[in-house]
Structure 1
Amino acid sequence: MTFFMRFCTLIVNVLCLPLHLIEAVGLYKIYKRVFPICLYRISVTYNKKMHDKKKELFRSIPEFCKPGGQLTILEIGCGTGTNFEFYPPGCKVICTDPNPHFQKYLKKGMTENDHLTYDRFVVASGEDMGSVEDESVDVVVCTLVLCSVNNIPQTLREAHRILRPGGAFFFLEHVVADPATWAYFFQHVIQPVWYYFGDGCEVTRETWKHLEAAGFSDLKMRHIEAPLVFIIKPHIIGYAVK
């Protein structure tokens, strides 16, 4: 299947030549203005289907609050703020995203979730959050982000840096399927198109390997099959303690 998969992927890449050209000349940046609108609508559906999984995951967040203190959460790639409803009341939230055009939708999410305190919105990639101090947050949240960052290990190093000792990195990410499945085949074939549709999203990443090598003191991670389209059905979910 490997040769056939590569052949099919090559054909799709050829068909994507106009998209490759659009990115090469810088016109793809226009889509970054449109992408927040698309993601806002997609996120509503994703949250409905993944509600129980998210609720189960974020239930553990209060465990990482220092006694007598206010729990501080930093979310990498906050997007439209679809995780806010799952955060414990009274938390202080720092929002980061490399796309400044999300801010309009983020404000809507903040208004709808007034049980939280919002510190600031930082336009920054996951690989470079230099404006956030070392060991300054209790929890870092990252959902459906590691599929599109340019450098997963560097993003995890940044998360580790800004977490206080004993803090936790919470994640929920779609990953590559088992190589023995047709989902794996179609993930690789469709990837050239998916990259542009998802603003840099890659469905063929073995993200769990990077988490295992990131140097956290404890990693609690599960592989699950999400109730979603087969291309993004395989997920990993859990948290890692600094």
Structure 2
Amino acid sequence: MLNTEDILCKMLFAQLQSIGFFTESKSQPVLENFYGRWFEESQSILERHQFLKRTENGHVPTRSIGTMSELWKEWNEQKSDLLQDNNMKAMVTLVETALKALPDILTGKASATDILFPNSSMDLVEGVYKNNQVADYFNDVLADTLAAYLQERLKQEPEAKIRILEIGAGTGGTSAAVFQKLKAWQTHIKEYCYTDLSKAFLIHAENKYSPDNPYLTYKRFNVEEPASEQHIDPGSYDVVIAANVLHATKNIRQTLRNAKAVLKKNGLLLLNEISDHNIYSHLTFGLLEGWWLYEDPDLRIPGCPGLYPDTWKMVLESEGYRYVSFMAEQSHQLGQQIIAAESNGVVRQKKKTETEEDTGHLQIDAEKDHSQENASLIEQTAQFVKHTLAKSIKLSPERIHEDTTFEKYGIDSILQVNFIRELEKVTGDLPKTILFEHNNTKELVDYLVKEHESKLRTTLLKETKQPAKNEAPLQT
């Protein structure tokens, strides 16, 4: 591992130099948003591995690393051995993919999400969370802990119907192990609510897991917000599962309060969480925005959003969870931890101060002096955008409202790719940042009509695009 860390540090260093860092050039690139924090940690990593030295004028190089072609040759030599190890294969492939694109990611030419989830595919990332010995081991430990809970619960209450909610289920790395274990208890599972912020993951899960697991339901859920505001009944679930997700929130205490609000009194919280910080994670998941959301660094492992086991125990107990236990504690050195805790039933929730209401229908605001043809163009563009968005997220077009942000519909970075690609079939090339700059239907329609009027006229006004009337929503 040490040799591998060394070559990864060399390649990180070389890629940063390729865009102007740690060179004699006085002008350096400006990193926006969370990449400033990512870069600070990169400097710390390079300093620890003695590639950089801190001076009064900043960091200066201390080692010669060779050319980029020499580094790739060295990496490929090590990679051939690493790929023989099923435990490393997925992460090695992922980190190589990220390293190759690193200059483009940092300079805004490419999105890290597009690189790690190419064409909205989960394949690159999925192998990190399952189908390798380490990931499968911890997923099995969590599933076995759930099975032990069910066995004990049904001894006390033989006719019990159990409700389970999984937060941030993602590609289902942990879920798959749990579903396998639940087969023995299937008649006692009333509901397994599979949730995530991304509708792309919900669609992926519905296609993959529904046929064999009839108790599954699917909902978007943001654990940073109260459940009562998200059509999830507070205090209604016997078990809440969260695997490699709670760390990717701004405030871990508030996150635990919101998770607790979903649980019944004496309900069980099961966590699968990272327990250390390594360069592989920094060069892959560290490039995603969620890695740097946290605003309580005093509770986190330095340089990453994870929490050490003793910190988890302290925070859980302070938030009213009892009987905090660490399963497979002897295996924490592998980089993961399984935590079980019971809710004491006392719930603390923020009161909502502002209410956002949808208008209920799409309104097209055309200037009075627009001609009938211009009004028709705006109308057809709006219908085209609604239909395209609805198709992407499996929602009926009638439920798309002009002022509701795309984020609220679950249009995250993964689904953006397909949404923009469909729009480009009519408009031609669009900026990859278009949905950030114009983040609701009305703003997007106004932009498209203004910037791509001629192409819209030759397509939409010639052929009316009817929205699909028979598309069912993902859940009711």
Q: State the TM bucket, normalised to the shorter chain.
A: 0.7 to 0.9
The alpha-carbon deviation at position 40 of structure 1 amounts to 3.2
2:338 and 2:266 mapped to 1: Cα distance? 19
1:235 and 1:64 mapped to 2: Cα distance? 27
Note closer, same or farther for the CA distance 1:193–1:204 as it changes in structure 2 (3 Å cut): same
* Aligned-residue identity in percent: 16
Match of 2:123 in 1: 37
Q: Equivalent residue of 1:167, what SS?
A: strand
Q: Does structure 1 retain, via aligned residues, the 8 Å contact 2:321–2:341?
A: yes
Q: Does structure 2 retain, via aligned residues, the 8 Å contact 1:191–1:204?
A: no
Partner residue of 2:331 out of 211, 225, 232: 225
Q: Does structure 2 retain, via aligned residues, the 8 Å contact 1:135–1:162?
A: yes
Match of 1:107 in 2: 206
The alpha-carbon deviation at position 73 of structure 1 amounts to 0.1
Partner residue of 2:142 out of 26, 33, 54: 54
Comparing 67-76 and 148-157, the one that deviates more: 148-157
2:280 and 2:209 mapped to 1: Cα distance? 35
Q: Equivalent residue of 2:161, what SS?
A: coil
Give the letter for the 1:37 counterpart: D
Comparing 103-112 and 28-37, the one that deviates more: 28-37
Q: Is 1:240 aligned with 2:341?
A: yes
Match of 1:161 in 2: 261
Q: Does structure 2 retain, via aligned residues, the 8 Å contact 1:224–1:237?
A: no
CA RMSD between the two structures: 3.6
Q: Does structure 2 retain, via aligned residues, the 8 Å contact 1:152–1:210?
A: no
Partner residue of 1:19 out of 79, 88, 105: 105
Say which structure is richer in helix: 2
State TM-score, norm by structure 1: 0.72
Please identify the structure whose Cα radius of gyration is greater: 2
The alpha-carbon deviation at position 148 of structure 1 amounts to 2.8
The alpha-carbon deviation at position 150 of structure 1 amounts to 3.5
Match of 2:195 in 1: 96
1:163 and 1:137 mapped to 2: Cα distance? 5
Note closer, same or farther for the CA distance 1:200–1:225 as it changes in structure 2 (3 Å cut): farther
Q: Is 1:194 aligned with 2:194?
A: no
Q: Does structure 2 retain, via aligned residues, the 8 Å contact 1:64–1:138?
A: no
1:210 and 1:104 mapped to 2: Cα distance? 32
Q: Does structure 2 retain, via aligned residues, the 8 Å contact 1:73–1:141?
A: yes
Alignment: residue pair count:
220
Give the letter for the 1:218 counterpart: Y
Q: Is 1:84 aligned with 2:189?
A: no
The alpha-carbon deviation at position 165 of structure 1 amounts to 0.4
Note closer, same or farther for the CA distance 1:164–1:55 as it changes in structure 2 (3 Å cut): closer
2:200 and 2:321 mapped to 1: Cα distance? 33
Match of 1:205 in 2: 306
Note closer, same or farther for the CA distance 1:5–1:236 as it changes in structure 2 (3 Å cut): same
Note closer, same or farther for the CA distance 1:215–1:174 as it changes in structure 2 (3 Å cut): same
| Higher RCO (C-alpha 8 Å, min separation 6) | 1
Match of 1:180 in 2: none
State TM-score, norm by structure 2: 0.40
Give the letter for the 2:306 counterpart: R
Note closer, same or farther for the CA distance 1:104–1:190 as it changes in structure 2 (3 Å cut): same
Q: Equivalent residue of 1:219, what SS?
A: strand
2:110 and 2:161 mapped to 1: Cα distance? 43
Match of 2:274 in 1: 174
Give the letter for the 1:45 counterpart: N
CA deviation string 1:44-76 (max 9, x = no partner):
414644464234322223145683331000000
Partner residue of 2:239 out of 123, 132, 139: 139
Note closer, same or farther for the CA distance 1:97–1:211 as it changes in structure 2 (3 Å cut): farther
Note closer, same or farther for the CA distance 1:38–1:211 as it changes in structure 2 (3 Å cut): farther
Give the letter for the 1:194 counterpart: T
Q: Equivalent residue of 2:193, what SS?
A: strand
Note closer, same or farther for the CA distance 1:18–1:26 as it changes in structure 2 (3 Å cut): closer
Note closer, same or farther for the CA distance 1:49–1:169 as it changes in structure 2 (3 Å cut): closer
Note closer, same or farther for the CA distance 1:140–1:30 as it changes in structure 2 (3 Å cut): same
Q: Which runs of 5+ in 1 are unaligned?
A: 177-183
Note closer, same or farther for the CA distance 1:143–1:151 as it changes in structure 2 (3 Å cut): same
The alpha-carbon deviation at position 164 of structure 1 amounts to 0.6
Q: Is 1:71 aligned with 2:162?
A: yes
Q: Equivalent residue of 2:122, what SS?
A: helix
Note closer, same or farther for the CA distance 1:10–1:162 as it changes in structure 2 (3 Å cut): farther
Q: Equivalent residue of 2:204, what SS?
A: helix
Q: Does structure 2 retain, via aligned residues, the 8 Å contact 1:146–1:207?
A: no
The alpha-carbon deviation at position 161 of structure 1 amounts to 0.8
CA deviation string 1:133-154 (max 9, x = no partner):
2211110001122343343222
Match of 1:117 in 2: 215
